[in-house]
Structure 1
Amino acid sequence: MLAPGKIPPEKLKEIVFNRLGTPDERVLVGADLGIDASAIDFGGRVLVASTDPITGAEERVGFYAVNVNANDVSTFGARPKWFLVSILLPENSDEKTLERIMDDLHASASKLGIAIVGGHTEVTPGLKRPIVVGTMLGEVEKSKLVTSNGAKPGDAIILTKWAGLEGTSIIASEKSGELEKAFGREFVKSAKSFIEVISVVEDALTAAEIGVHAMHDPTEGGVVNGLHEMADSAGLGFVIHSERIPLREETLRICKFFSLNPLALISSGALLIASPREKANEILRALAEKSINASVIGEFVGDPTRRAIVEGGSERLLKRPESDELWKVV
């Protein structure tokens, strides 16, 4: 039986990556471990495409769909520009449900300068909640293309904003009554507001302008899974330091309340950057000028079996999460 969340890497290799249709020489980056978008050669420019579903939230699914997919495209150094969306509604949904989703899609796309250019909408038997599946397209000059698999040994690992942002917001929305009793209404309101900073488009384009080796937004499985995916795709290991990982107080308290690991909680809004060591401080300064919090949390190493976290001066193996912590709650 497969666990909820992303399919394990070994199953992707066994079942998915050997069934990819006809090879095409114009595909510069295709489906592989740790790769969240594809890149297709259009001469002097590259088309970058990504697709993701929103399955773990009921509120503001349109907002999540636009931003999560825009994030993936921007990690390639590309500006997201065109969006296609499939909206699957449960039986007995009313027009107001569709209207709310479309309002969110329209507002979110407009804010990022993205055109919604097509898609599909239906009522689907068997669903318990709406599911929105988006496909984002963007473009970048060929010489400025960045990929998820370009990290090199010795690269600094930069994390922008805070770990667990999206998961904190979703849990605060889905479990608001329970959390208000424990922590109060203002606490829950603050935690819900994390949804407003889940875009990493500005983070990614700012860092790419200075020069990076790889970028990746940690979604399902959080920062830990994101690091494993970057390491998988580059054939590397990593060492991170627990005390350097930025976490909001709301995330810490909610995770403690539900016995969750915040580093394995879906983390859209944060961005992992593999930076040449000599450019790390310049990237941090550029992000700070745009009021984007960022920290160097560790480095990539040449040994692919060394994937570790340092806590209290001791280094221990950091295993890949079997599934996102969110699924234990929602």
Structure 2
Amino acid sequence: MLPGKVPPKILEKLVFTHLGAGDKRVLIGSGKGIDAAAIEFGDRVLVASTDPITGAEENIGFYAIHINANDVATFGARPRWFLTSILLPETADEATLKGIVKELHENAASLGVSIVGGHTEVTPGLNRPVVVGTMLGEVNREMLVTSNGARPGDVLIVTKWIGLEGTSIIARKKRDELERTFGKKFTDRAGGLINLISVVKDALIAAKIGVNAMHDPTEGGIANGLHEMADAAGLGFKVYADRIPVREETLKICRLYGLDPLALISSGALLIAAPRKNASTVVSALEREGIHATTIGEFVGNPNVRVLVGENGEEELPQPKSDELWKLI
């Protein structure tokens, strides 16, 4: 198998068929395109998500908090509690561990999140640290948004720009080469896109207005995110290439290394399925809070229609088999 997420067909065959005992209180469980689990506690819902940080070495604590918080927020829930497993290579020292936990602490505190448990060990066979996080949040039952709730005709909205996480990681790993090619200011801007990765504010604003589904497009970029959202709801989609927001830094870096920005890890962007009557209100509310938001297309009833509309008309948008970032890492 290729690096990155295991393909959906293998998940369906091997993973989703082995989920232990059933529980009626599980409102949303494991499935294609599902960011988190939702478990009923009376009039409140506990939302839980877990993700490892494997493709980054710098800022690993930052990513662990925000990537997991993003998934919880896509359910309309506010992130509250965090658990983490820190796996260190045998070459690590106390300074390595101190740097990771300091980042975890500072970024959890910035979101009002408590770190309530976890595990830390030195693991043979690793060549860099790996941090696995589990974020828990809560939301009122009536305010819950589900990953699989998109409906035919819903307007697709994306916040900020695609490829933000991938651009920031590449800018750090290839700093010397990028500075020689584009200059220091450009490279600093590209690396600074890490500061746009949280979508907690984006998601909570949209959920308050009323949306049908939200999704955080991570590995495989917006292309994979669209497929995951469509898979979860059993729908298709039509998106317009000229509406998809891409920053200059992302475009230039992708051209330099021959990468597809649509398939580059895109934490920081939020995909939203909004009822047509609410779409303009959602966009306006986000823009008022300084969050760039763009309508890029819509969901359609036929699950076989998954197209990108460009200069040559409609073309099928394939689901990426691996994230573009892995070509450089």
| TM-score (norm: length of structure 2) | 0.99
The equivalent residue for 2:18 is 19
How far is 1:313 from its partner?
5.3
- Residue 91 of structure 1 aligns to a residue in which SS? coil
- May I ask how many residue pairs the two structures share in their alignment? 329
Alpha-carbon distance in 1 for matches of 2:257, 2:122 = 33
SS of 1:46's equivalent? strand
What is aligned with 2:211? Answer: 212
Question: Which residue number in structure 2 is paired with residue 245 of structure 1?
Answer: 244
Identity within the alignment, %: 64
Q: How does 1:119-198 map to 2 (within 5 A)?
A: 119-198=118-197
AA at the equivalent of 1:36: D
Distance, in Å, in 1 between the alignment partners of 2:89 and 2:203 is 35
Shift of 1:38: 0.1
Aligned equivalents of 2:277, 2:294: Cα separation in 1: 15
Output the amino acid matched with 1:93: A
1:113 is aligned to 2:128: no
Shift of 1:18: 0.4
User: What amino acid sits opposite 1:242 in the alignment?
Assistant: A
1:183 and 1:108 map into 2 onto residues whose CA distance is 31
Using the alignment, how far apart are the partners of 1:313 and 1:205 within structure 2? Answer: 37
Q: Match of 1:222? A: 221
The question of 1:84 aligning with 2:83 is answered yes
Q: Describe the superposition over 1:246-273 as per-residue Cα deviations: whole angstroms up to 9, x where unpaired.
A: 0110000000000000010000000000
Structure 1 unpaired stretches of 5+: none
Report the Cα distance in structure 2 between the residues aligned to 1:324 and 1:242, rounded to whole angstroms: 19
Is 1:199 aligned to residue 195 of structure 2? Answer: no
The code of the aligned residue for 2:265 comes to I
Q: Which residue of 2 aligns with 1:33?
A: 32
Question: Runs (4+) of structure 1 moved beyond 4 Å?
Answer: none
Q: Which amino acid is 1:130 matched to?
A: P
Amino acid at match of 2:299: F
Distance 1:124 1:185 in 2: 37
Task: Provide the C-alpha distance between the structure 1 equivalents of 2:75 and 2:148, rounded to a whole number of angstroms.
Answer: 10
Separation (CA, whole Å) in 2 of partners of 1:61 and 1:194: 15
Deviation at 1:312, TM superposition (A): 1.2
Q: Which moved more, 1:137-146 or 1:181-190?
A: 181-190
* 1:37-72 residue CA offsets vs partner (Å, 9 max, x unmatched): 000000010000000000000000000000000000
- Helix, strand or coil: the match of 1:127? coil
Query: What's the secondary structure of 2:50's corresponding residue?
Result: strand
Q: Distance in 1 between matches of 2:281 and 2:65?
A: 29
Quote the offset at 1:103 in angstroms: 1.0
SS in 2 for 1:100: helix
Note the alpha carbon deviations across 1:152-175, whole angstroms, 9 max, x for none. Answer: 000000000000000000010111
Deviation of 1:181 (Å) = 1.2
Q: Deviations over 1:16-52 (max 9, x none)?
A: 0000000011100000000010000000100000000
Secondary structure of residue in 2 paired with 1:120 = strand
Q: Distance in 1 between matches of 2:313 and 2:214?
A: 27
Deviation at 1:92, TM superposition (A): 1.7
List runs of 5+ in structure 2 lacking aligned partners: none
Q: Matches of 1:36 and 1:157 in 2, distance apart?
A: 17
> In the aligned structure 2, how far is the partner of 1:173 from the partner of 1:186?
13
